[in-house]
Structures are given as C-alpha cells and as structure tokens.
A and B are shown apart, each in its own frame.
Chain A
Amino acid sequence: MSRIHDMGGLHGFGPLAVESDEPPFHHEWEARVFAINRFLLKRGAYTLDEFRDAIERMPPAEYLQASYYERWLHAIESLVAEKGVLDVRRG
C-alpha cells in the first residue's frame, strides 16, 4: 500500500509558491528542529532511514496539514519515544 508521502504524479496541489530571497529557516524553532535531528542522527540515536520512515508513517491527514519542519518534529518526537532516547541517558 502506498503512503501519502509517495507524491510523484499526484494531482491537485496547485501552483508553486516561490519565495524570493528566502531565509534558510522561517522560524527559530525550525532551525532547532533541523539541528536536533542532525545531532541525534550523528550520535546514532536513529538512522536516516528510520527518520524518513517516521515521517512517512504519519497519518495522511496529519501529514498533509503539517508544514515541512512540523513533519520533522513529529518524526523526532516519535523516534525519541520509541527508541527510549531519554531513558538510556538517564542516571
């Protein structure tokens, strides 16, 4: 079964919105989310494939409503819980 992330060829997403002189991040929290992910990947808390999978298994309605970095945040929160990232380091 295909998931919603497999978007190639789908219709109905409208014209592109191209922003000129776009900043790398639109909110400070987006930069933080980017950095948290980079950091957790680097220390082996989870792999890039696991991260992608965590985005791709978002419920479709939630996926479509979320912005790009909201999807990332959702995936990081899921993996931090599933992998026990907070537990392992304690004590």
Chain B
Amino acid sequence: MSHGHVHETSAGTSNRVKSLIAALEAANVLTEAQLDGAVESFLTHAQPANGARLVARAWTDAAFRRRLLADGNAAAAELGIDLAHWAPVKLRVVANEPGRHNVIVCTLCSCYPLALLGPSPSWYKSDAYRSRAVRDPRGILAEFGTHLGDDVEITVWDSTAEVRYLVLPQRPAGTQAASEQQLQALVTRNGMIGTALV
C-alpha cells in the first residue's frame, strides 16, 4: 500500500472492527449482512458519472447551467440525483471561467460531494492536501501536473458538513459537435475537484 502516510494496518485494527460488529450484532443494533448491503449500495449509487451528467448538461443547456449555479440541489434533483439522501447537505457549484479557476478542499476533515464524485481519494483526505490546498493551491495543482498561468486567479473553497462544493470545469475547445453523452465521458473526477483541467 502506498497512499499517504497510512501504514500497514495491524491485525489489531481489523480485530477491533470485528469486536465492534460482534457487540453491535449481539445488541441487535445491526447485522453483518446489513453492513455489506450498505457498502454495496454506496458503491453503486455514489459515482463520478453523476457529477459528469450535471457538468455535461450545464455545458449544453445554458438555462440548466444558470439553475445549477443558483441552486445545486434543485438542479441535481432535476436529473434524479438526491444529494441530501443521508445528510442534509447543500451543494454549491462553482464555475471555472477564463482567468478564474476553482479548487475544493475540506481542511477540517473530508467533506466531499460523495453522491456526485464517488468515494473520495485518499489524497483528498490526507493531512498534506488539507493543510496546503488553502496556502499553496498553485503548488498543489503543479503536483497534479496542472499548471495555470499567473494571470489565472485561483479560488479555494473549504467544504463544511453543511456545504459541499463541486467545480464546473470549462467546456473543452473543439467539442461543439459532441453529444451530451460524449461530453460526459470527458469529465473527470479531478476536473470536478479542480486539481485537473478538463
């Protein structure tokens, strides 16, 4: 395993989890099967393809783009995506424009629009990203191979338990003939976090 400063997990941790589950099962709070179901449901429903649908629609429908920027939750609901399924979170979508780039972070922990981007990458939750994204966003972007000119202003959005951000990337040049579905395929997770361009 190579991510972050996460070490090999000791058997101790795995055993602690097993004991916790056994205690919760014994107290009739939950069953192991319910846990498996919860993981499966999460992985099935929380996908970056959901974020990509919002982005591609915003690229092809100016009225939708306005609604998305004005009220992210309502616009997502139009596409059948329920953002507040398990926590009452507000979605704020921030648009990249010529001369203006956006990046999201959660300095306090790991808040992230899971429903739109899927499970968050370890680097997003790492102490290194959380501490530095707000101080040296240009340096962070460079580590992703994303080099922005000095004339591009970068805004960093610090997520909270109540407000989650999503970056609306700029539509790539030369995609005028592309269908909405083809556009969706161009949208990347990191593009919607803001550490990459699309």
Across the interface, do B42 and A34 meet the contact criterion of CB distance under 8 Å?
yes
- In the docked arrangement, what's the CA distance between A49 and B161, Å? 8
- In the docked arrangement, what's the CA distance between A80 and B97, Å? 47
Q: Which residues of A contact B21 (CB under 8 A)?
A: 32, 36
- In the docked arrangement, what's the CA distance between A18 and B27, Å? 40
Check: A61 CB closer than 8 A to any chain B CB: no
- In the docked arrangement, what's the CA distance between A42 and B84, Å? 12
Q: Which residue of A lies closest to B7 (CB)?
A: A67
Q: Which residues of A contact B144 (CB under 8 A)?
A: 18
Q: Which residues of A contact B34 (CB under 8 A)?
A: 35, 39
Q: Which residue of B lies closest to A90 (CB)?
A: B27
Give which listed residue, B26, B38, B107, B126, contacts A35 with CB less than 8 A: B38
> A22-B121, A64-B127 given as contacts; is B108 within 8 A of A6 (CB)?
yes
Across the interface, do B29 and A89 meet the contact criterion of CB distance under 8 Å?
yes
Taking each of B7, B43, B109, B129, which has the highest tally of chain A beta carbons within 10 Å of its own beta carbon? B109
Q: Which residues of B contact A26 (CB under 8 A)?
A: 1, 3, 6, 9, 122
Give which listed residue, B13, B17, B42, B140, contacts A16 with CB less than 8 A: B140
Check: B70 CB closer than 8 A to any chain A CB: no
Across the interface, do A19 and B109 meet the contact criterion of CB distance under 8 Å?
no
User: Nearest Cβ distance between residue A53 and chain B, in whole angstroms?
Assistant: 10
> A7-B108, A29-B9, A89-B29 given as contacts; is B126 within 8 A of A17 (CB)?
yes
- In the docked arrangement, what's the CA distance between A81 and B136, Å? 40
Q: Which residues of A contact B77 (CB under 8 A)?
A: none
Q: Which residues of B contact A22 (CB under 8 A)?
A: 3, 121-122
User: Nearest Cβ distance between residue A77 and chain B, in whole angstroms?
Assistant: 6
Across the interface, do B27 and A77 meet the contact criterion of CB distance under 8 Å?
no
- In the docked arrangement, what's the CA distance between A80 and B109, Å? 21
Check: A14 CB closer than 8 A to any chain B CB: yes
Would you list which residues of chain A between 38 and 59 have a CB under 8 Å from chain B?
38-43, 45, 48-49, 52, 55-56
Across the interface, do A27 and B123 meet the contact criterion of CB distance under 8 Å?
no
Q: Which residue of A lies closest to B140 (CB)?
A: A16
A-B contact pairs, 11 of them (CB 8 A): A8-B135, A17-B2, A17-B128, A22-B121, A24-B43, A24-B119, A34-B38, A41-B86, A56-B108, A68-B122, A80-B20
Shortest Cβ-Cβ A-B pairs, 6 listed: A8-B107, A24-B119, A35-B38, A35-B35, A10-B131, A13-B128
A73-B20, A77-B16 provided; 18 other pairs, C-beta below 8 A? A7-B130, A8-B134, A8-B135, A9-B134, A17-B122, A18-B144, A19-B3, A24-B118, A25-B119, A29-B17, A31-B39, A32-B39, A39-B35, A67-B4, A67-B6, A73-B13, A73-B17, A89-B28
